[in-house]
Structures are given as structure tokens and as C-alpha cells.
Amino acid sequence: MCIKESLRLHSPVQAVTRKYTQDMMLPGDLTVPEGVICLVSLYGTHHNPEVWTKPHEFDPLRFERTNTQSCLSHGFIPFSSGPRNCIGQKFAMAELRVVVALTLLRFRLSLGVNPELGSSSGGVRRLPQLILRAEGGLWLQLEPLNESTYREPPKK
């Protein structure tokens, strides 16, 4: 739930484009003609108050299985959607679960200090490029946990 909520708030890709293959009728007698390229804002969708309650707040419980809001067909699309969605999304989600679990098993994380700035910059600022980045990087401080506080996973 935390990974999905993080992807909703901070999707790695901010927008995707699609080319209409046929005329598309819209409400109000409007038509989008065939051949037009449409930009779909993933950021806009994921932060839309008509789609998400309190869209700028971090609330992993919105992805609880019993929560129907997370079932909107195209309300959560960090890997795009439809026939042109990311073919690696299942692998990426599995990899995220493993990396987060193993990291949190061994370390306590806190916001670090960017050595170029010399101090905390007062928060992380988005640097929207083709792929979302944090301005100046995302600096984390890792504090190893005591070996007594975690169990090493069994080796195969």
C-alpha cells in the first residue's frame, strides 16, 4: 500500500501521449479528430480531487483491498494503462517490494543532507524531466539497525 501511494504521489513518468486512431466523441457535442496526439497527465490524474480524496496527502490506506476508491479503472496509472502500458510493471513492483523490505529490515532511514547545500534544503523539490527527479538529488541517511533487532533471511 505504501509503495502504491508513493507511486501515486510521485510517479516516475509524469505524462504519456497517445494518438487517436479514430474520431472520439466527447460530452457537449465535441469531437477529437483521428490523428490528434493527446497528452495524458499522470501527475494530474493522481492529484485530481475529483478522483482522489485529499489528493496531496500521503494515505496508504487508500490502497487497502476493501477501499473501492483504489478500484477506479484509470485513476491509478503510474505505469500507464491499456495496450501500451509498461511491460515491466509486474517486475518493477516485485523489485520495489524486495528492495524496500530488505532496506527497512536492516536500516532506519531519515532525510539526509545534500553536501552541496551544506544543510537540509527545507524539503524535497520536484524536478520534472522525462523521468521525475528530486532537485539536487534525494539524500537519505541510513542508520544500521542492531543485529538483535532484525533476523537475517534464510540463505538458499
Q: What is the pLDDT of residue 9?
A: 93
pLDDT in tens, 93-140: 999 999 999 999 999 999 887 777 665 556 678 887 878 888 888 888
pLDDT in tens, 71-86: 677 889 999 888 888 8
Q: Is the pLDDT of residue 42 over 60?
A: yes
Residue 35: is it exposed, middle or buried by C-beta count within 10 angstroms (0-12/13-18/19+)? exposed
Torsion over CA: 28, 34, 37, 40 (sign) = positive
**Which pTM value belongs to this model?**
0.79
Residue 77: count of CB within 10 angstroms of its CB:
21
Give the separation between CA 148 and CA 127, rounded to whole angstroms: 39
Q: What is the pLDDT of residue 38?
A: 93
Residue 118: count of CB within 10 angstroms of its CB:
8
Answer yes or no: are the C-beta atoms of 1 and 61 closer than 8 Å: yes
pLDDT in tens, 61-71: 999 988 765 56
Q: What is the pLDDT of residue 149?
A: 59
Give the separation between CA 62 and CA 124, rounded to whole angstroms: 23
